[in-house]
Amino acid sequence: MSASVAVPQARPVAIPMSETLPWLIGAAVLGLLIYYFIGIDEGATSVFGNSTVVHEFVHDARHFLGFPCH
Ligand SMILES: [Zn+2]
């Protein structure tokens, strides 16, 4: 005696490029901003001038990720 059981199959979902492109660009811009403020924004190259507010805010993350600091 054998009974056939319908096993659900996984089907790939096609996501159009026009729907994913804004999310990809947004994620890339956000990632680059985070990378800049954690890793690069310091001293003369700082966006906010000679202020140390941003630098001190991300200071622990900078050291944790191994960016040169001081
Ligand atoms: Zn430091």
How many structural domains are present in the chain?
A: 1
Distance from the Cα of residue 29 to its chain's centroid: 8
Residue 36 lies in a domain: yes
Residue 46 lies in a domain: yes
Mean pLDDT of the region 5-12 = 90
Inside any domain, residue 38 = yes
Answer yes or no: is 50 within a domain. yes
What spacing in Å lies between the alpha carbon of 26 and ligand 1's midpoint?
A: 29
Lowest mean pLDDT among 13-22, 25-34, 37-46: 37-46
For residue 43, the enclosing domain spans: 19-65
How many angstroms separate the alpha carbon of residue 60 from the centre of ligand 1? 7
Cut 0.85: pTM above it: no
